[in-house]
Structures are given as C-alpha cells and as structure tokens.
C-alpha cells in the first residue's frame, strides 16, 4: 500500500512538473509573424537582409505589449494564409485586406489601415479612367491573390486579366506595353509612376469605399485576437500610427494630403 501511494505521488509530481514546464516553454516561445518582405516601406528588408518597415515595427510593439519576442518569417504572398493554417506562424501582418473569402479561413483583427486601389497605365493605352477597364481590348495586370486580382476577376470580366506572382512583373508588363494597366494599391502605383513617368501615367480612384487591412490569426484563436484588438486601439489612441507615418511615409503623407486621398491610418468614416 505504501509503495502504491509513493508511486501515485511520484506520478502526480511528474505530471504537474511537466505541465508547469510546458506552460513555461509556451510563455517563453517567441511570437512568429508571417510577412511577405516585398512591399516597402510596410514589409521589406534592410541592407543586411533583416526585416524592416512599418509592419515589422508594429509587430515588435505588439510583442512588447504581450511580453514576447517577435520572430518574422518571410513568406511568399500566396503562402501566408496556409502558413497560419499549418501553424508555421501565429499571425500574419502583411498589408492584408480583410475580405469575405479570407474570413472563411482565418480570423481578422479590427482594421488598422485602409487600402484603396489605383491604376498604373501605359501612356499609349486608351484608358482614361476606371470606366474604361472592363473592355475586351484591355489587358489588366494583377498580382496573384491581391485585392486588385479579386476585384478584376469579379468586376472586369470583359477584359483580359494577366495574373503574375509579384508587383515588379506587373509594372514591367505595363512599361513594355504588354498590359494596359496594373491595378494595385495607391501607394505602389504612385511610387512606380514616379520612377517611370516617361512610359506610364497614374490614375487614382479617390471616390471608392476603402477596404481595410487587418491582422490574420488562426480560426478560433480568440485569446491572441482579443490581445491584438486591444493593442490596436491603444496604439492608435497613443499616436503609434502617426509615429510610423513620420518615420517611414512623411513625404507620401504630405503628397496624399495635397491630392485629397484618404490616408492609410485614417480610419474615421
């Protein structure tokens, strides 16, 4: 009987120790954040190849908020959501638009930024505004899986749609005249037009309902989601997004204000 009691005490102690060690391990485990480091200044690399940008700073500030180190995983765009599903990452912070299709497979935080579409147009193209897009003589370049891709496939079915893996390939298609237009977010369009003014023109679509960027987590991970929502509200109230704008996008903010475009972090309706 004494041996049985001793055995029971020993097993119970091992179980509690194991549970305690597992909990401690989970607490010390870094927060793994997926990003495609190909969209400066939000997600990119510095001269040494290290992750940098608005989303990187944002993720690290969230890490401080929950008391965890942050590890950034550079993942191709079409692999970001699968990386959440397979538990390769804990969340994705990668300028990702909240869509109904994506909400079916991941959970999103409250919005932290706006996303609006613009057009980079070849100067020899007949396109003058968005009403000219949905015609069978128009070729539209889109980045696979992007909001422009979703929009074009849903609303521009009369046009020829060329889907490519990255934005630089889409820009090249327009510059070389293989595509009439590249449909993407306004900041990317603005920057690529600045670099290619001899061959392209930029047309913005200011009178549209802005779509929203959110942080994506695994379905049902309410604990992490609630912490992120709390952080976003706190970070916004304390001027965190204003500081990121000043650090990374001060010139763009000034130009967007002059043009009357809605800013990324202006979430007021």
Check whether 116 has a pLDDT greater than 60: yes
- Cα–Cα distances (Å) from 102 to 84, 85, 118, 194, 216, in that order, read 12, 12, 22, 32, 9
* Cis status, amide bond into 10, omega within 30 of 0: no
Classify 199 as helix, strand or coil: coil
* Torsion, Cα of 153, 187, 197, 247 (10° steps): -160
How would residue 257 be classed by pLDDT, with cut points 50, 70 and 90? confident
Gap between the Cα atoms of 260 and 111, Å rounded: 21
pLDDT at residue 15 in the model: 52
Tokens of 97: 């638009």
Check whether 190 has a pLDDT greater than 90: no
Give Dmax over CA atoms of the chain in angstroms: 93
Contact 65, 227 (CB under 8 A): yes
Check whether 225 has a pLDDT greater than 50: yes
Higher pLDDT, 169 or 208: 169
| Number of alpha carbons in the 13 Å side-chain half-sphere of residue 112 | 30
Tokens of 181: 């237009």
pLDDT at residue 192 in the model: 93
Domains of the chain: 29-114+210-249 (3.40.190.10), 117-204 (3.40.190.10)
Quick one: which H or E segment has residue 231?
helix 222-237
Q: What is the pLDDT of residues 132-171, one digit of tens each?
A: 999 999 999 999 988 899 889 999 999 999 999 999 999 9
pTM across the whole model: 0.73
pLDDT at residue 20 in the model: 52
| Number of alpha carbons in the 13 Å side-chain half-sphere of residue 162 | 18
Contact 189, 120 (CB under 8 A): yes
Residue 217 pairs with which residues in a beta bridge? 91, 107
């Amino acid at each position: 009987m004494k041996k049985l009691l001793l055995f029971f005490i020993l097993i119970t102690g091992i179980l509690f120790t194991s549970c305690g060690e597992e909990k401690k391990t989970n607490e010390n485990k870094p927060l793994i954040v997926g990003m495609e480091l190909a969209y400066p200044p939000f997600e990119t690399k510095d001269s040494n190849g290290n992750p940098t940008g608005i989303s990187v700073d944002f993720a690290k500030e969230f890490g401080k908020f929950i008391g965890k180190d942050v590890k950034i995983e550079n993942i191709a765009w079409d692999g970001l959501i699968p990386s959440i599903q397979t538990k390769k990452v804990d969340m994705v912070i990668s300028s990702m638009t909240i869509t109904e299709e994506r909400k079916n497979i991941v959970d999103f935080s409250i919005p932290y930024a706006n996303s609006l579409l613009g057009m980079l147009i070849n100067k020899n193209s007949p396109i003058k505004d968005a009403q000219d897009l949905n015609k069978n003589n128009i070729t539209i370049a889109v980045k696979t899986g992007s909001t422009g891709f979703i929009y074009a496939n849903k609303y521009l079915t009369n046009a020829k749609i060329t889907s490519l893996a990255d934005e630089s390939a889409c820009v090249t298609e327009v510059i070389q005249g293989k595509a009439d237009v590249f449909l993407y977010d306004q900041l990317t369009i603005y920057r690529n037009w600045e670099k290619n003014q001899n061959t392209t023109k930029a047309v913005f679509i200011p009178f549209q309902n802005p779509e929203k960027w959110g942080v994506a987590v695994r379905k049902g991970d309410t604990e992490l989601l609630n912490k992120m929502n709390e952080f976003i509200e706190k970070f916004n109230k304390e001027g965190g997004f204003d500081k990121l704008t000043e650090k990374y996008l001060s010139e763009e903010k000034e130009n967007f204000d002059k043009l009357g475009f809605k800013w990324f972090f202006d979430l007021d309706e």
